[in-house]
Chains A and B, each alone.
Chain A
Amino acid sequence: MIEVPKIYELYQIWPVMILIVTIALILGSSLSVERKMWKYFLTAIAAVGLSFAICTAGRLMPVALAIKLSRPQELLFGKSIIFDQLFLFMVIFLCVFLFGVIILSAVLWSRSSWEWPVFLCSLVGSLIGMIFLCSTRHLLFFAIAFELASMPSYVLVGFRRFNTKSAEGSAKYVIFGAVCSAIMLYGISLLYGLSGSFDFSTISFALAAGGVGVTKIVALVCLLVGIAFKISLVPMHFWCPDAFEAAGADVAGWLSVASKSAALIALARFVQILHLSGTAEFNHSLMLTFTVLAILTMTVANLSAYWQTSVKRLMAYSSIAHAGYMVCGIAVLGDVMGVAAIVSYVVVYMLMNLGAFAVVGLVERETGSDDLKSFAGLGSRNPYLSALMIIFLFSLVGIPPFAGFAVKWIMLSVLWQHNLSILVVAILANTLFSMFYYMKIARAIYFEDATLPAVKFPVLASVVLTICAAGLIVLFIGWGAMNTYSNNLITAVLG
């Protein structure tokens, strides 16, 4: 029984349609415009397309609000896509982030690169995949979105073609990703077999009705393997350092925030559905699973990061650790405050990571390597860049007066109120561990003598970095407003 999509559903996913048109336009223009104009022209098309998508999503917000008041959940296209404020929020969030990443990429790449159209399309393509990833409860559609988000990422990581390290990292990412998604598909097929439907809500109630069984646990675990791969939770994190080291800093920055945040929101939706239909025992073991995963992820990542000499690898472990902090919000079942904490964290995390990876990328472009030695004496070579980097680093550790502390505080409060004090202690201990490796970078920047020349970069990069740093300070002073917004958003959507 196939449901025919109604025409207004197309209107509701108009932002994504705009992104698809942007891809077509980029590829089309690359055929007609001369190569040396590619960078400016195609970047302009991408920027305009993203801006349109953001504006449209903003205009659709009241529509989503009105729909939410009248129906519990609006499902489009045969129950595949959930249309609500969270979907629109993720569209806006990821498009804004991609805007920043594209500016960074444009700065980092050389002018005459003939791979630029494919690069841009891969970025936008993975963006579309990530948008769909976090707005669905139809498992087959989820799998498609998963692949749509992952495939371009594999390509993006391996983009530096004549660099063996790049190829190696990309190959590792592809193989790891392929195995994880295969396991996830197996899990999905088991879930379909157990319940007869792809809709996760139906599956969840069917599983709850059937009682405990090994197949059920295996199926859910297999599904979790796929999602954990995307979020890079331990033990599905091994791809992350290799892929980030292989990729350019812009792609590493994109992956570190976008894929993790999309997968986290997807996981939040799934866990919410499971929680609603599960027995108390099942919910308790679900909470335990995520508690253990969170502690394991944070600790392994923070302890491994210290030994890295490649700054991109170090930042990869840092992003795994922050994913661990964010998953604590999932461990708080039954209260949307946990997911709201994740949303706030993700917004601030985007600013911190975009800034940090931008600085790493600029240094790497100038010196040819992202080793800590490239950062030596950056304080005297580029005082402004170094000062901004310190803001990003201290925000990543979680020290006031930067927004990184505010969102950690929100997460800790939510955890404390749900008696998950072990996670509170784990997060705080890991904050201490993480201090060491972030300070390694700070130490290289300020305490070592400069042997390399100053990093040259265009004013546009400074503007982006300044906006990120200023955003961190503003969001610290105004974290109440950010918290209120996320709470209202998540309560309206999942509450």
Chain B
Amino acid sequence: MMNSTWLLTWIIFLPLIGMGVLLVVPKKIIRETALTFTLATFILSLLMIPHFQGSSLQISGKDYQDGFKLVNVVPWIHSSGFNIDYRVGVDGIGFPLVLLTTLICFLSCLASWNISKGIRGYFILFLLLETGMIGVFTALDFFLFYVFWELTLLPMYFLIGIWGGPRKEYAAIKFFLYTLLGSVLMLIAMLWLYFASNYNGEHTFSFIHLSMPGVLPSYASHQTMWIVCFALLYVGFAVKIPVFPFHTWLPDAHVEAPTPISMILAGLLLKMGGYGLLRVSYPVLPHAGAAHVVAWVLGILGVINIIYGALCAMAQTDFKKLVAYSSISHMGFVLLGIGLLTEAGFQGAMFQMIAHGITSAAMFFLVGVIYDRVHHRDITRLGGLAGQMPIYTGLSIVGFFAGMGLPGLAGFIGEIYVLLGSWQAVVLGPMGARVLTVISASGMILTAGYILWAIQRVYLGPPKPEYANTPDITLREICVMAPMAVLSIALGVLPWQTVFTFANGTLVHVLKLLPSG
């Protein structure tokens, strides 16, 4: 049995090795090679599950190191005052996200079969992106976290800009600019926190050490530093989540990107922002996170995301853009859940990240299926597809209802927990929290509004003659969609066994770091 210490490093770097292999394999087997590597990474990540079995409320025990399992530390830079290690580990919030990443990347790889030009470059960038994402979700050292965070920029820029739609260049440069702006602000916070930290006489980048009391100067004496760093980090993560008003890159990037890349963008890259808040902002700067101003701002912005995203989605005639705005709306729940600092809210936000990862990837894939056949995404021209493509319609109903948050499917649990959490929130006072909850709950009505209306316009209604000969969903596409449909149902029916049992311990631990009252 392989020494479990190196498991995570293997998971992170196997796609990178795949990238190297892809440089030399003959053209005929490029797709199969890439698929093999993504499948291998997924299977390796499944090996993490036994470590977390029955881990419910534990964050300590024989395998845990400060709340993390499978920790791998390799000293990296220890010269002239720098203390940077290659430090990776997973805990309750990282583990489900790593599993989600490997799964969605495998499914996207399968969905990329139709890419015809420059496939070698495409799959090389794809695997590089996978390494970057897994690295973000496992890095425990702030410098390493930053390196992996930026590592995702390069492949995304080219994946959108070369294989994208008509306005691909604009979308690619906008995405790059926004994310780089966020990263640059994060770099300032990184410098500030590093040089202010003091762990046994040295500065430290490790998240574990930075969240220990006493390592950073206290909130009372360094209030500016805490609030400003929190704000800088927040903007860096807000660009990714994305939060109004830093969300304008998302509709362009999602619409112009090819289908598999939209799946990864919506399913995984957005979660990096939410993960960043839970991993970096709140554990390292808890007092700033618990400040009234901050909670109000995040709560209100979360609500704006939900309502504004839903209203924009309702106005769209481009099917893909509708799904893109629905992503903004759903990620608003994540922000609301985290910002209001309740146990239910945190659990809901975590669940919503996993569920939305699956459902948004599913929705983008479904839109991609129809786009591949009819070469347009105009809802006003689509209609009556249920007659021509019954299996596809069946899978779409499952996918879209899951996105809508139908009870029994994945989307519902996250939203209801977030709303429960925001109802109980004490940090905003009794009335403030309840007002926000009521407004957000009405967002669920808007969500049902645009999704049901879209389903009605696209799938239901009289069949249209121009779609009389569209082929139904192929076996490969069913293989991509079916796991996501099954998971949507599984997460909806068994939320505890699938997500909460793993995440609960860590989330409670993060919440304990926050000052009460």
Query: Could you list which residues of chain A lie within 8 angstroms of chain B, going by C-beta atoms?
Result: 337, 340, 379-380, 383, 390, 394, 399-401, 405, 412-413, 416-417, 424-425, 428-429, 431-432, 435-436, 439, 442-443, 446-447, 479-481, 483-484, 487
Contact = CB atoms under 8 A, between A and B. Distances in A.
B76 to A, nearest CB: 7
Given A412-B187, A432-B181, A446-B161, A487 B169 contact: no
| 5 closest residue pairs by CB, A with B | A480-B77, A484-B79, A400-B147, A480-B79, A428-B184
B161 A479 contact: no
A407 to B, nearest CB: 13
Contact of B78 (A340, A439, A480): A480
A424 B188 contact: yes
Nearest to B173: A439
A484 B176 CA distance: 33
A274 B151 CA distance: 42
A383 B121 contact: yes
B82 interface: yes
A442 B84 CA distance: 31
B76 A432 contact: no
Nearest to A431: B184
Given A337-B80, A435-B176, A447-B169, A416 B191 contact: yes
A23 to B, nearest CB: 39
A412 B150 CA distance: 17
A412 B191 contact: yes
Nearest to B162: A446
B498 to A, nearest CB: 34
Contacts of B172: 447
A337 B192 CA distance: 18
B153 interface: yes
Contacts of B181: 432
B246 interface: no
B158 A446 contact: yes
Contacts of B187: 412, 428
B166 to A, nearest CB: 12
Interface string B111-154: 00000001001000000000000000000000000110011011
Nearest to A416: B191
Contacts, number: 81
A418 to B, nearest CB: 11
Given A439-B176, A484-B79, A487-B79, A416 B150 contact: no
B79 A443 contact: no
Given A432-B177, A439-B173, A443-B161, A400 B79 contact: no
B271 interface: no
13 contacts: A340-B80, A379-B118, A401-B150, A401-B151, A413-B195, A431-B184, A435-B176, A447-B168, A480-B78, A480-B79, A483-B80, A483-B82, A484-B80
Given A383-B121, A484-B80, A432 B188 contact: no
Interface string B161-194: 1100000110011001100110010011001101
B232 to A, nearest CB: 11
A218 B146 CA distance: 46
Nearest to A440: B173
Contacts of B191: 412-413, 416, 424
Nearest to A479: B77
A447 B147 CA distance: 26
A38 B161 CA distance: 46
B195 A417 contact: yes
A424, A435, A483: which has the most chain B beta carbons within 10 Å? A435
A480 B82 contact: yes
A413 B161 contact: no
Interface in B240-273: none
A372 B161 CA distance: 18
B446 to A, nearest CB: 36
Nearest to B77: A480
Contacts of B168: 447
B169 A483 contact: no
A483 B77 contact: yes
B150 A399 contact: yes
A424 B173 CA distance: 24
A445 to B, nearest CB: 10
Interface string B65-84: 00000000000111110101
B1 to A, nearest CB: 29
Nearest to B177: A435
Given A432-B184, A439-B176, A447-B162, A483 B150 contact: no
B181 to A, nearest CB: 6
A381 to B, nearest CB: 13
A399 B82 contact: no
Contact of B79 (A424, A439, A481): A481
A249 to B, nearest CB: 25
A161 to B, nearest CB: 40
Nearest to B192: A416
Given A383-B121, A425-B188, A447-B161, A400 B82 contact: no
Interface string B338-380: 0000000000000000000000000000000000000000000
Contacts of A428: 184, 187-188
Contacts of B162: 379, 446-447
Contacts of B173: 436, 439, 443
B100 to A, nearest CB: 24
Contacts of B82: 413, 480, 483
B161 A487 contact: no
Given A424-B188, A428-B188, A447-B162, A399 B77 contact: no
B79 A483 contact: yes
Nearest to A480: B77
B36 to A, nearest CB: 23
A479 B173 CA distance: 29
A481 B75 CA distance: 13
B193 to A, nearest CB: 11
Contacts of A394: 154
A228 B118 CA distance: 46
Contact of B150 (A405, A417, A447): A405
A337 B80 CA distance: 9
B79 A399 contact: no
B154 A399 contact: yes
Contacts of A431: 180, 184
Contacts of B78: 480
Contacts of A399: 150, 153-154, 180
A400 B151 contact: yes
A483 B80 CA distance: 7
A436 B169 CA distance: 12
Contacts of B176: 435, 439
Contacts of B151: 400-401
Contacts of A425: 188
Given A399-B154, A405-B150, A447-B169, A435 B77 contact: no
B224 to A, nearest CB: 12
Contacts of B79: 480-481, 483-484, 487
Contact of B146 (A340, A400, A443): A400
Contacts of B195: 413, 416-417
Contacts of B177: 432, 435-436
A401 B184 contact: no
